[in-house]
Amino acid sequence: MSHTIGTPANSNVPKWVYQFGGGSADGAANERDLLGGKGANLAEMAAIGLPVPPGFTITTDVCSEFYQNDQTLPGDLKRQVEVALDHVGKTVMAEYGSVEAPLLVSVRSGARVSMPGMMDTILNLGLNDETVEGLAKRSGDRRFAYDSYRRFIQMYGSVVMGVAHDHFEDVLENFKNLNGFERDTDLSADDWSEIIDLYKELVIEHHGAPFPSDVHEQLWGAISAVFLSWHSRRAATYRKLHDFADDWGTAVNVQAMVFGNMGENSATGVAFTRNPATGENALYGEFLINAQGEDVVAGIRTPQPLTLAAKHEAGDNSPALEEVMPEAFAQFVDITKQLETHYRDCQDIEFTIQDGQLWMLQTRSGKRTTAAALKMAVEMANDGMISKEEAVLRIDCLALDQLLHPTLDPCAERKILTRGLPASPGAAVGQIVFDADRAEELAGEGKSVLLVRVETSPEDIHGMHAASGILTARGGMTSHAAVVARGMGRPCVSGAGTLKISAKEKTLAIGGDQFSEGDILTIDGSTGQVLAGEHPMRQAEMSGDFGVLMGWADEFRRMKVRANAETGRETSLALQFGCEGIGLCRTEHMFFEASRITAMREMILAHDEAGRRRALDKLLPMQRDDFVELFALMKGLPVTIRLLDPPLHEFLPHDRPEMEVLAEKIDLNVEDIEKRVSELNEFNPMLGHRGCRLAITYPEITQMQARAIFEAAIEVSKRDGATVHPEIMIPLIATKAEFDSLKVVIDETASTVFKEQDYTVSYDVGTMIELPRAALQAGDIAKSAQFFSFGTNDLTQTTFGLSRDDAAPILNHYTANGLLPIDPFVSIDQDGVGALVKLAAQAGRETQSDLKLGVCGEHGGDPASIAFFEEVGLDYVSCSPFRVPVARLACAQAHLNSKDKSASKA
Amino acid sequence: MSHTIGTPANSNVPKWVYQFGGGSADGAANERDLLGGKGANLAEMAAIGLPVPPGFTITTDVCSEFYQNDQTLPGDLKRQVEVALDHVGKTVMAEYGSVEAPLLVSVRSGARVSMPGMMDTILNLGLNDETVEGLAKRSGDRRFAYDSYRRFIQMYGSVVMGVAHDHFEDVLENFKNLNGFERDTDLSADDWSEIIDLYKELVIEHHGAPFPSDVHEQLWGAISAVFLSWHSRRAATYRKLHDFADDWGTAVNVQAMVFGNMGENSATGVAFTRNPATGENALYGEFLINAQGEDVVAGIRTPQPLTLAAKHEAGDNSPALEEVMPEAFAQFVDITKQLETHYRDCQDIEFTIQDGQLWMLQTRSGKRTTAAALKMAVEMANDGMISKEEAVLRIDCLALDQLLHPTLDPCAERKILTRGLPASPGAAVGQIVFDADRAEELAGEGKSVLLVRVETSPEDIHGMHAASGILTARGGMTSHAAVVARGMGRPCVSGAGTLKISAKEKTLAIGGDQFSEGDILTIDGSTGQVLAGEHPMRQAEMSGDFGVLMGWADEFRRMKVRANAETGRETSLALQFGCEGIGLCRTEHMFFEASRITAMREMILAHDEAGRRRALDKLLPMQRDDFVELFALMKGLPVTIRLLDPPLHEFLPHDRPEMEVLAEKIDLNVEDIEKRVSELNEFNPMLGHRGCRLAITYPEITQMQARAIFEAAIEVSKRDGATVHPEIMIPLIATKAEFDSLKVVIDETASTVFKEQDYTVSYDVGTMIELPRAALQAGDIAKSAQFFSFGTNDLTQTTFGLSRDDAAPILNHYTANGLLPIDPFVSIDQDGVGALVKLAAQAGRETQSDLKLGVCGEHGGDPASIAFFEEVGLDYVSCSPFRVPVARLACAQAHLNSKDKSASKA
């Protein structure tokens, strides 16, 4: 497979080849488009004077020329490559094709982004029957030289010449069988020499031509192979899937080989400039004498520490690099510092020492734990290495969640029974119980319990509160259990399909294992694991770095962060986490408590308005007290209270025994209750009699809720002297007429209460935008509504026509098969749901230029969604208390990124 | 209550008063804004020379001036009114305020549209203690004169002077009690005179000032009262509700009174220029000698026929107007002809003959039956009185439905048991049965049956087919029963909430009445009535006029009309009704037949793909035969076939006995079936695993359906030589990726079948747009889809977030309370759902300028919705077969109206 190399068209030929190494480079890191990612990075390292094995990059323009000219390489390329190759040889005191001091090179592809499907690497070009002897002499290791040679033939033969890899393996296996060898290390230099002869025959047999012994033929064959691999089927498919252009092309990198296994004065190793687990600012890493990179990774020999400090700390006896090669070590330490300063981040570095000479093979940003990332970012910013903005941008928002919940000790062994969905982060250990009442009872005795249910319903709320964690067999990431658990900050594993739960028998079977009430399990809501027995835990630590970084984040964000909270406990937690208001107080949650649900049920089961009013009169003082507590805690911060939202049947008992208990309590007969339950039953409750529709058919409920809000606001206002300004939110609005009719009820209640109490508080009445129709009519609705809060959970359900309770199997299939990039209940679907949010925000602001806009769906705590909300111009996001820090950071990042964007546009 | 009348500001004063009568008029019909509707119409009649009682109109400008100038009437108005009043008097040889020949006038309000809440009418102004005697003499009826006088005081006293009407009634009642009178007719002229004195005292007592005896004071008081009524609370509310501007103002009409009760030479009557029941072109009406208008209406005396012809036809002995007043009659006949010619429509006329002199009181377009409307329109167009376009525009599309279904004899007495919703038009008589199998059985024996169910489900389809009519206790206008019944053309009454049905006992209780299987009931699906026993029916008549008019309609429409049909029977019916294609073939309906459902269930219950494929292989030939039948019937007309749409659990049995039967049939155990049924159960099936989601998770179903379609198309194509071009429609698309992945499956199946059969047919693959996300992403989806069909049922459900199965109570409350103008499942919600349709249509056409667009939801047969679809530019509508003629007419009207609009814009 050879390609004609053209002759130069004129003297003013383009620069096709960029050299690097020997203390300088033609290119730099910002020339990725021309040099590819790898080439640009090698050039950058060389340019700052690091000892990079010298080499050169053939530009992506050559690739384009190659394809534009019928797979012919451009003229003058040959000359430029020869000049560069000569320079490489001189730098390492060797020569390509020389027998005495043979230069070996590697050939690698390198597009502007890394791309599977393209040719990766061919090592050891330049070896043939003569030069191998030179390598043997120079390295003093004949076996190493012949092993390198046979590996080269094998690699080049399959990648460039198209001889299947299996054939080479077969030859080797046969040879080993015939000679009674078990492992590759059993083979001597002469054995490898014999294998080489067999490989050469194999190549002639399958390729029809001999393996090239001419080192230049080897080189050009490899270069062409890289260019051809750009249009391989896999690479083309990958580009299509990622929307990468076909005309980007790939570069080719040719680089001198260096060897860490050329004797006791050679070594190879890896290092981090800072500790990737803790973030400590100390060199961290390991190395092996007389070894290659793969030996460090393979774990056959135990690597040695780099520094004396590390050696002493670990109580390690093996000598540190600092001791055995003090000069190379000192140079390396200097270089690591230089690299960190240059790249302004902790680096993950590969190096080789060949015969006492240090070579840097790779440097890249080092992966780190969230705790380490925090520490590094804060220290680097304090040291002036990076700006505070950069520090804020360096933290992975989602990973932050890890810090806020207790987690399983990562060092302890895990007895995994099964897996569900990681529905609410954090880990929990406890006795399993199968119903909410029992959970409350045992928790009351001071026990830690896990509530295990097929699925949870609003009636389980008190049990979920009492439990340390929740485990369900059904339901997705946005099922009732998941949403409520996240809201409460309870760890939760949902949809663990292999659980067989019998609530009646109080037993749980997982695979072959049987558990009964009181048995201890552990769940990890961050991974979805369900574990046997009690696993050791690590408590969340809010280090000083956390506080510092969050403070910086707060400086850089535009959007406010509120919390979704109903109880005093949640509200206090949210305040600790830095929330700036309550964005969603779901009043219905307040009715599920045992002491209240009876009055609520009485209201629902009443035969007429008078009966409903009697029951509502009982609920009024309880609801008012709830709001008094919230307003008092929030000390004048905004509180958005949503009127009753769920369908009424959610409050009613669903089985006969419960109905009997209720019948006795409220003096009704069971048949009446059964009848009412069946009347309230709906085909599609999500699309049924709920939200503002309840308030419209039963305005007395709204009157009671509005009264409770205003009375509470006045009480706190008078008592604490705080400015209480409630924001009353009407759910599930589809038309302006609905909103208007309820605003009248609220305003009338306000003026009645204000007159009664001879005291006035200001308040807003706004609406959820959670139905497509509301989004489409937002301009009209904004004529009456004083704020919008996007309910993106319901908006996603209706826009997609997909019930989140039923979506799990569908979405799993879709995301697994590339039909959706991500679960739209996790990150907002920008094209569809997002388009409605944008449209509504614009239309709303066109009507009322300072209309307050927020979001209170699950997306309010999702960083990708937050970036979108920043773009749309919302005023705040609201999320569950535990998500508040994540949201604060995400808002800051979103704002910094959007500022960057506008800056780069300008 | 008196208002200052200003003095003229300058000599060039505006014209405040428009006179009419005496053969001429200052105004005309097109001056509604200035003269109000009533004033303009009176002017029009007078202008064409009709004998209208003379009078004048004070313009709406005066009303505006009145309110702009602190409720002061403009200068010069007084003078203009006096001039006009004088002219009126001269025309009828009387004078306002004269004792010898007193002119009496009426004062009426009249805005540009009729508006409740405004002052209506005051009659007999000009009466006082002197003029009443003049009236007595002139009429020769003293009692009449005094009765008129007391009526005037009563009316004026309450409307203008604010004395409550009840007070007057009390005085009258007291008087009658004291004097032993029972009825008003017992009172003599002197009695009325006494009453008048009492009334005057009453006015002083309550108003604080005497009743005005000055006739000019009477007149100005009445005029001011009209203007003041413009801003009455009720009128203001009405304007707000209907978006009418406050500054329109009202006009005031002052008109001479004429009396049909001034002796044997006077008469009063009503007439239609053509027969309003049959449309026959013959004068039709009745009259009474010496009577007032209300006497004709009251029915105390029997009115006489107008013409000799009518008299003879009715076998009536009473003399016709033609006989008793031949001259007036002849004049009247001339005028009716003139009116019809002038207004170019059948007129409904009120007239009075006072002392031999004919006066026209009112003419308006005459209400008529649909049959009459058809006949009139066709005849008028044939006679050249109106254009064909006008003929087409004159027919009420919805009323056309009456003609297409058998109806109850309107003359027969109705024994109404209860009422439900008029869910599918037409009437049916039959034996009641309580399950689908029994319905099929009895129908098989040739009996007419009514299927009575609490609600229907897809499993009842065969029974609904077999039944003559369907009656349900639950479900709205778009419930399963209603939709399917309309599709099949079966009369249906749904949601008759008072029915107590026991399917087990096979009994039905309605109020106190008990019925059992086999008892005969009648339902009227056009009114929702449920009737006891057998009621006489009238069969639908497709008269020649119907065909002629539909032909004209077809000339004038742009949109095609297709039908929603699955069976051969429905398809044939749709073709008879003039459909031009099938817009929606719901393939799932084909699986509910008893012979197929077992294979379908086997497919659903299969444990793996192989099992599903085995069951699908059984379904393939059946499905192919279905399509062969459809393609053959449609003879090359387009056929859109929708892939399987409903959630699979709809096909499974839901009770234990049925499961047991099934278990035996397909060799599974009942527990497995029960488990699968429960697995497939969803919280919100509407938003669940259905539509394309089924096809994506079970591509083998799509393969089978596509194969059946292509094999059938090839078979018919080969056999009949017709061009069969199937349109395959994918339901419930939310993303382009879904569509693309299924298009691949369909295209692959096509090429396989084409290769097997060595025959190719062309086909399109398109999508339903029935989710908000699809509408929002239509531009993208149109890159792949070859047509869109708007599924506005589901689009309404998701856009409103309202399940149509659960919506009935909510929508009833909303429409009753003005929160929605109309059920959005009946007429498309243009602001919300319509906005999405428009957006998607535009975006789709931007991508593909000739993209075929249709609608196949229930709205496809609704005239108001069709007008919207015309505006949006859809290519066709598709509706149930019985709706096809309605849709054809509605499309024509929509197109004519839109042409009018654009013409008037130009």
The residues in B 322-361 lying below 8 A from A, measured between CB atoms, are: none
Q: Which residues of A touch B776 (CB under 8 A)?
A: 799, 831-832, 835-836
User: Closest Cα of chain B to A699: distance in Å?
Assistant: 13
Q: Is the pLDDT of residue B237 over 80?
A: no
Residue A610: pLDDT band with limits 50, 70, 90: very high
Residue A841: pLDDT over 90: yes
- Most trustworthy range by pLDDT among A7-11, A418-422, A588-592, B166-170: B166-170
Q: What is the pLDDT of residue A478?
A: 62
State how far the Cα of B60 lies from the Cα of A241, in Å rounded to an integer. Answer: 70
Mutate which of A736, A776, A781 to test chain B, going by most B C-beta atoms within 10 A? A776
For residue range B853-902, what is the model confidence (pLDDT) as tens digits? 999 988 999 999 999 999 999 999 999 998 999 999 999 999 999 976 55
Taking the C-alpha atoms of residue B252 and residue B62, their distance in angstroms, rounded to an integer, is 9
Mean pLDDT, rounded, for A35-55: 92
Q: Does the pLDDT of residue B6 top 90, yes or no?
A: no
pLDDT at residue A298, rounded to an integer:
58
According to the model, what pLDDT value does residue A903 have? Answer: 47
Q: What's the mean per-residue pLDDT of chain A? A: 90
Mean pLDDT, range B502-519, rounded to an integer: 91
Sequence-ordered list of residues with C-beta below 8 angstroms from that of A355, at least 6 positions apart, any chain = A262, A263, A265, A266
pLDDT of residue B544: 83
Q: What count of other Cβ atoms lies within 10 Å of the Cβ of residue A250?
A: 28
Asked if A822 has any chain B CB less than 8 Å from its own CB, the reply is: no
**Closest CB to A682 among B772, B806, B813:** B806
Strands (E), B297-443: 304-305, 347-354, 357-365, 407-408, 416-419, 421-424, 427-433
Whether the predicted pLDDT of A501 surpasses 60: yes
Report the C-alpha gap between B851 and B788 in whole angstroms.
Answer: 8
Weakest mean pLDDT among A699-713, B590-604, B882-896: B590-604
Q: Is A485 touching B (CB cutoff 8 A)?
A: no
B801 CB neighbours in chain A (<8 A) are: 686-687, 732, 734, 770-773, 794, 798
Res A542: pLDDT? 61
Q: CA–CA separation, A701 vs B469, rounded Å?
A: 42
According to DSSP, residue A579 is labeled -
The beta strands (E) that lie in A731-837 are given as 764-769, 787-790
Question: Long-range CB contacts (< 8 A, 24+ apart) of A200-208?
Answer: A200/A153, A202/A157, A202/A163, A202/A167, A202/A168, A202/A171, A203/A153, A203/A157, A203/A161, A203/A163, A206/A162, A206/A163, A206/A164, A206/A167, A207/A157, A207/A161, A207/A162, A207/A163
Q: Which of B689, B734, B817 is nearest residue A800 as measured by Cβ atoms?
A: B734
Closest CA to B627 of B670, B565, B686: B565
Q: Catalytic residue at A480?
A: yes
| Backbone angles phi and psi of A513, in degrees to 5 | -85, 140
pLDDT tens across A262-321, in order?
778 999 998 999 988 788 999 988 899 988 776 666 556 778 899 999 888 877 888 999
- Tell me the pLDDT tens digit for each residue of B620-677: 999 999 999 999 999 999 999 999 999 998 888 888 888 998 898 888 889 889 888 8
Task: Examine the residue annotation and report whether A856 is marked as an active-site residue of this protein.
Answer: yes
Per mean pLDDT, which of A360-369, B221-230, B268-277, B361-370 is the most reliable?
B221-230
Mean pLDDT, range B740-756, rounded to an integer: 96
CA distance B287 to B268: 6
Digit-coded pLDDT (tens) for B681-734 = 898 999 999 999 999 999 999 999 999 999 999 999 999 888 999 999 999 999
Residues of A in contact with B797 (CB under 8 A): 687
CB contact under 8 A, B802 and A776: no
CA distance B161 to B491: 55
Taking CB atoms and an 8 Å limit, are B741 and A836 in contact across chains? no
Residues A640-647, mean pLDDT to the nearest whole number: 95
Residue of chain B minimizing CA distance to A693: B810
- d(Cα B848, Cα B379) in Å, to the nearest integer? 45
Question: How far is the first Cα of chain A from the last one, in angstroms, to the nearest whole number?
Answer: 50
Confidence of residue A212 (pLDDT cuts 50, 70, 90): very high
Range with the poorest average pLDDT among A102-111, A674-683, A722-731:
A674-683
Query: Which of A492, A856, A879, A891 is labelled catalytic?
Result: A856
Reported as a pLDDT band with limits 50, 70 and 90, residue B3 is: very low
CB distance from A44 to chain B under 8 Å?
no
Strands (E), B48-90: 55-58
C-beta of residue B192 within 8 angstroms of C-beta of residue B171? no
| Residue-level pLDDT at B542 | 61
| Per-residue confidence (pLDDT) for residue B905, from 0 to 100 | 39
Separation in Å, CA of B6 to nearest CA in chain A:
42
User: Would you tell me which residues 662-721 of chain A have a C-beta closer than 8 angstroms to some C-beta of chain B?
Assistant: 682-689, 693, 696-697
Name the residue among B741, B799, B817 with its Cβ closest to that of A819: B741
Percentage with pLDDT > 70 across chain B: 96
Q: What is the mean pLDDT of residues B276-286?
A: 87
Q: Residue B126: pLDDT above 90?
A: yes
Please tell me if residue B44 touches chain A, with a CB cutoff of 8 Å.
no
Q: Which residue has the tokens 């099992």?
A: B611
**pLDDT greater than 70 at residue B430:** yes
Rounded distance between C-alpha atoms, residue A222 and residue A151, angstroms:
15
Marked catalytic residue, from B405, B462, B480, B535: B480
Q: What is the pLDDT of residue A299?
A: 58
Give the Cα separation of A373 and A394 in Å (integer).
7
The alpha-carbon gap from B262 to the nearest alpha carbon of chain A, in Å, equals 54
Interface test with B, best of A501, A797, A802, A839 (most B CBs within 10 A): A802
Q: What is the mean pLDDT of residues A51-67?
A: 95
For B56-115, the pLDDT digits (tens) are: 999 999 999 999 999 999 989 999 999 999 999 999 889 999 999 999 999 999 999 878
- Residue A793: pLDDT band (50, 70, 90) is very high
Q: Are B301 and B314 in contact (CB under 8 A)?
A: no
Q: Distance (Å, rounded) from C-alpha B9 to C-alpha A724?
A: 59
Instruction: Tell me if B829 sits within 8 A of B796, measured CB to CB.
Output: yes
Q: How confident is the model at residue B298 (pLDDT cuts 50, 70, 90)?
A: low
Overall average pLDDT of the A410-439 stretch: 88
> What average pLDDT does range A207-225 have in this prediction?
95
pLDDT at A3: 35
Beta partners for residue A726, in sequence order: A639
Query: Measured between alpha carbons, how far is A786 from A765 in angstroms, rounded to an integer?
Result: 6
* Mean pLDDT across chain B: 90
